[in-house]
Amino acid sequence: MSVAAKPRTTPRPDRVTVKTALLSVSDKSGLLDFAKGLEQAGVKLLSTGGTAKTLRDSGLTVTDVSDHTGFPEIMDGRVKTLHPKVHGGLLARRDDADHVAAMNTQGIEGIDLLVVNLYPFRETVAKGADYDNCVENIDIGGPAMLRAAAKNHDFVAVLTDPKDYETVLNEIAEGGTTLATRRKLAAKTYAATASYDSAISAWFAKELGETFPETLSVAATKIDTLRYGENPHQQAAVYSDGSGRAGVVTAKQLQGKELSYNNLNDTDAAFELVAEFDDPAVAIIKHANPCGVATGKDMISAYQSALTCDPVSAFGGIIALNRALDGATAEEIIKIFSEVIIAPEVTAEAREILASKKNVRVLETGKLPNPTDPRMTLKTISGGWLLQTADNGHITEDMLKVVTKRAPTKQELRDLLFAFRVCKHVKSNAIVYAKNGKTVGIGAGQMSRIDSSRIAAWKAKEARTEIENSVVASDAFFPFPDGLLAAADAGATAVIQPGGSIKDEDVIAAADERGLAMVLTGMRHFRH
């Protein structure tokens, strides 16, 4: 049953004078300067535990919440702010006669400013703490106070983020916090408590082994507002999920223009692809699809090989490396225009060379993501979401099943595994031709697999790559022999595919007839 609001008889106050503030924080950055500013403005300071000690040790006058309430902290600090003198001071409407009368009768003093950031639950989990320590770092009093103060934002300002300290201090100096600021801070507070609860629910789900909990709670922190989205008429922003996974969200931008929505999406695709390989590898991406991927003895040879697959499409592309970008490779890269370059490290020599192309965005991540780490992917659909475990399947030689009369040679086998890892990152339907550790033809995003085979062969012919005696990878099974035969016609000698079609026997027979070696993975890599 909902509670009806009392009719408002007075206008909402714009400026509210801050007489009393309650401070209780785990993140103490900027705290002392802020508290000193409050004291200089004549604000009475209430505080708890470690925050009170920090303030008092700096020479500030502080009243402990236990002295304010007349009730001691109990149960190892689990109960300290859960008291009517705290919550009444936060929730009382100053323009309501009944509320004011209750305050006077019960000796409740109004609290005009609440400064709280919560127990470090996420940080505790990230450190690998045991179950009991994680539970003890679930804040109870903090969220309760935050929600109370945010609800009563007509009269109370609530702070959860040290970045807002300066704004509030300036307003206090000008006569009091403004309604506009208090509303903004209230909204920010509810987002903070929702995010905090989301982290707790996600942790519980993991502890209970629930991959798909009954209620999905998603929390993310905005990193930046982008100029526009996929197209100029769309708006966009980029958020962090807090996982710290190496990539575009956590990377340091060393130079270049602001990253766009498409830059971020394409760069993510490129970096996740090169992370698949142990040998030095380079991927060149356009519209989230690889137009060239190669491994090599070093970064410059890998880059040069990747470029040969489709040098036309590589213009204006995204370049990802899985090793440090050195000067020699940088010299090669700047010979054509690239939108973004991403690598775990960029040497000083490479930075100096790339500086001559000031518009090129250069990102340094510090490390590579682990492609086999368990994680989730989330996609919007109309009216809802699709949640799934990430495609972290990693096919190795011992997982392959030879189904043709001829087994692949050692070189074919190396190229087959390489091609299938690349294929995992190509939009379906996907066909990848490879030879000697580099792609020589890629067909992506077609409605039929035979069209992908033909397009990949055509692209190879246009680029004049050596598709003869290459191998071919398919992200899903060949439903009919025609796609396989198209690959054979193009010059492929060995095939890797998941298998599982009702026509598998026909496809195998066609491979035998052409003298192809074929292996099945039993694992599909659709990518939409």
pTM of the model: 0.86
Residues 6+ apart with CB under 8 A from 330: 349, 350, 353, 354
Average pLDDT on 353-365 reads: 96
287 is a catalytic site residue: yes
Q: Which of 207, 227, 261 is the last residue of a domain?
A: 207
Q: Judge whether residue 340 has pLDDT over 80.
A: yes
Query: Which two structure tokens, joined as six digits, stand for 383?
Result: 């009216």
Asked if residue 143 lies in contact with residue 26, where contact means CB atoms within 8 angstroms, the answer is: no
**Secondary structure class of 393 (helix, strand, coil):** coil
Looking at residue 147, what is its pLDDT? Answer: 94
The answer to whether the CB of 120 falls within 8 A of the CB of 139 is no
In degrees rounded to 5, what are phi and psi of residue 216? -90, 120
Per-residue confidence band for 103, with pLDDT thresholds at 50, 70 and 90: confident
58 and 188 assigned to the same domain: yes
> Is 377 inside a domain boundary?
no
Note whether 499 and 403 are same-domain residues: yes
Residues 330 and 410 in one domain: no
Same structural domain, 137 and 182: yes
- Same domain for 445 and 508, yes or no, is yes
235 pLDDT exceeds 70?
yes
Give me the residues paired with residue 377 across strands.
388
Give the tokens for residue 412: 């074919």
Tally of structural domains, the chain? 3
User: What pLDDT score does 362 carry?
Assistant: 97
Which of 144, 127, 140 shows the shortest CA–CA distance to 203? 127
Distances (CA, A) of 490 to 403, 456, 467, 496: 21, 9, 7, 15
Q: Contact, 330 vs 312, CB < 8 A? A: no
Task: Report the pLDDT value the prediction gives residue 4, as an integer from 0 to 100.
Answer: 67
Contact 225, 182 (CB under 8 A): no
Backbone angles phi, psi at 477, to 5 degrees: -65, 160
Region 29-35: mean pLDDT is: 93
Q: What is the pLDDT of residue 1?
A: 56
Whether residue 26 has pLDDT greater than 70: yes
- For 3, which DSSP code? P
- For residue 2, name the pLDDT band (cuts at 50, 70, 90): low
Q: Please give the residue that has the higher pLDDT: either 281 or 16.
A: 281
Supply the DSSP string of 266-294, one letter for each residue: HHHHHHHHHTT-SS-EEEEEETTEEEEEE
203 shares a domain with 258: no
The CA distances from residue 459 to 93, 222, 433, 438, 452, in Å, are: 71, 40, 10, 14, 10
Residues in the chain: 528
DSSP, residue by residue, 79-101: BSS-SHHHHHHHH--TT-HHHHH
Q: Exactly one of 188, 287, 357, 503 is catalytic; which is it?
A: 287
Retrieve residue 135's tokens: 């539970």
Within a domain: residue 3?
Answer: no
Contacting residues for 334 by C-beta, under 8 A, at least 6 apart? 353, 354, 356, 357, 360
Partner residues linked to 114 by β-bridges: 22, 158
Could you tell me if 31 and 12 are in contact, meaning their C-beta atoms sit under 8 angstroms apart? no
> Is pLDDT above 90 for 14?
no
Report if residue 298 sits inside a domain: yes
Output DSSP code: residue 163. G
The pLDDT of residue 83 is 84
Domain identity same for 355 and 287: yes
Residue ranges of E strands in 444-510: 470-474, 492-497
Instruction: Dihedral sign for Cα 252, 255, 259, 265, please.
Output: negative
Q: Is residue 65 over pLDDT 70?
A: yes
User: Distance between CA atoms of 330 and 353, rounded to whole angstroms?
Assistant: 7
CA-wise closest residue to 351 among 339, 336, 363: 363
Q: For the residues of 310-358, what is the DSSP string, one character each? A: -HHHHTTEEEEESS-B-HHHHHHHTTS-EEEEEES-B-HHHHHHHTTST
Q: Dig out the tokens for 453 from the structure.
A: 């085979």
Do 437 and 354 reside in the same domain of the chain? Answer: no
Residue 358 falls in the annotated catalytic set: no
Query: In this predicted model, what pLDDT tens digit does every residue of 164-209 receive, in sequence order?
Result: 999 999 999 999 999 999 999 999 999 999 999 999 998 999 899 9
pLDDT of 257 reads 94
pLDDT of residue 7: 72
> Is 229 part of any domain?
no
Q: In the Cβ-directed half-sphere of 98, how many Cα atoms lie within 13 Å? A: 3
Which pLDDT does position 49 carry in this prediction?
Answer: 82
**Whether residue 286 is found in the same domain as residue 430:** no
> What is the residue-averaged pLDDT of the chain?
92
Mean pLDDT over 229-238 rounds to 95
- Range of lowest pLDDT (61-65, 302-306, 320-324, 424-428): 61-65
Chain-centre distance for alpha carbon 117: 23
Give how far Cα 481 sits from Cα of 305, 469, 506, Å: 31, 19, 7
Mapping DSSP onto H, E and C, the string for 98-142 reads: HHHHHHHHHCCCCCCEEEEECCCHHHHHHCCCCHHHHHHCCCCHH
Yes or no: say if 192 and 221 are a contact pair by the CB < 8 Å rule: no
- The candidate with the shortest Cα–Cα distance to 475, out of 430, 417, 422, is 430
Greater pLDDT, 464 or 192: 192
Calpha distance 372→263 (Å, rounded): 24
- For residue 82, give its domain range: 20-207
In a domain, 227, yes or no: no
Question: For the chain, what is the radius of gyration of the CA atoms?
Answer: 30
Banded model confidence at residue 71, pLDDT cuts 50, 70, 90: confident
**Is residue 318 in some structural domain?**
yes
Query: Using 50, 70 and 90 to split pLDDT, how confident is the model at 10?
Result: confident
pLDDT in tens, 370-409: 999 888 899 999 999 999 999 998 899 999 999 999 999 9
Q: What is the CATH number of the domain that holds 430?
A: 3.40.140.20
Mean pLDDT (whole number) for 256-266: 95
The CA-to-CA distance between both ends of the chain, in Å, stands at 45
* CATH number of 174's domain: 3.40.50.1380
* Residue 163, domain member (yes or no): yes
131 and 80 assigned to the same domain: yes
pLDDT reported for residue 94: 87
- Judge if 357 and 401 occupy the same domain: no
Q: What is the mean pLDDT of residues 446-452?
A: 89
pLDDT tens by residue, 465-524:
788 999 999 999 999 999 899 999 999 999 999 999 999 999 999 999 999 999 999 999
pLDDT tens digits along 321-335? 999 999 999 999 999
Q: Is residue 238 part of a domain?
A: no
User: Quick one: 156 and 103 in the same domain?
Assistant: yes
Exactly one of 19, 28, 36, 151 is catalytic; name it.
Answer: 151
